[in-house]
Structure 1
Amino acid sequence: MANVTFKGNPITLLGNEVKVGDVAPNFTVLANDLTPVTLENLKGNVTVISVVPSLDTGVCDAQTRRFNEEAANLEDVNVLTISVDLPFAQKRWCGAAGIDKVQTLSDHRELSFGKAFGVAIAELRLLARAVFVLNAEGEIAYAQYVPEATDHPDYEAAVLAAKALV
Structure 2
Amino acid sequence: MSGAIKFNEEPILVENDLPQIGQSLPFFLLVNHALEDISLDAFRGKRKIINIFPSIDTPTSAQSVRQLDAIAAGLDNTVVLNVSADLPFAMSRFYDEEKLGHVTNLSTMRGRDMLKNYGVLMVTSKLAGLSARALMVADENDTVLHVELVNDLTSEPDYQAAIASLENT
Whether these two folds match at TM > 0.5 is yes
CA distance in 1 between counterparts of 2:10 and 2:68 reads 27
In structure 2, list runs of 5 or more residues that go unmatched: none
**Contact 1:2/1:147, CA 8 A, preserved across alignment:** no
Which letter does structure 1 place at the counterpart of 2:160?
E
Alignment of 1:4-83 (within 5 A): 4-14=5-15, 16-83=17-84
CA distance in 2 between counterparts of 1:104 and 1:16 reads 23
Residue number among 134, 141, 155 corresponding to 2:138 in the alignment:
134
Q: Please state whether the residue corresponding to 1:126 is helix, strand or coil.
A: coil
**Contact 1:111/1:120, CA 8 A, preserved across alignment:** no
Alignment CA distance shift 1:101-1:27 (3 Å): same
Structure 1 partner of 2:162: 158
CA distance in 2 between counterparts of 1:161 and 1:14 reads 25
CA distance in 2 between counterparts of 1:132 and 1:81 reads 11
CA distance in 1 between counterparts of 2:130 and 2:120 reads 8
Q: Please state whether the residue corresponding to 2:157 is helix, strand or coil.
A: coil
Structure 2 partner of 1:147: 151
Percent same amino acid at aligned positions? 28
Deviations 1:101-155 (A, max 9, x none): 1101101234122111011112322111110001111111100010112111101
CA distance in 1 between counterparts of 2:36 and 2:103 reads 16
Q: Please state whether the residue corresponding to 1:4 is helix, strand or coil.
A: strand
Which letter does structure 1 place at the counterpart of 2:4?
N
Distance apart, 1:76 and its partner CA: 1.0
RMSD: 1.4
Deviations 1:9-63 (A, max 9, x none): 2222236221111111111111111111112112211100011111111111111
Which consecutive segments of 4 or more residues in structure 1 shift more than 4 A?
Answer: none
Q: What TM-score comes out, normalization by structure 1 length?
A: 0.93
**Contact 2:3/2:16, CA 8 A, preserved across alignment:** no
**Contact 1:48/1:162, CA 8 A, preserved across alignment:** no
Q: Please state whether the residue corresponding to 2:101 is helix, strand or coil.
A: coil
Q: What TM-score comes out, normalization by structure 2 length?
A: 0.91
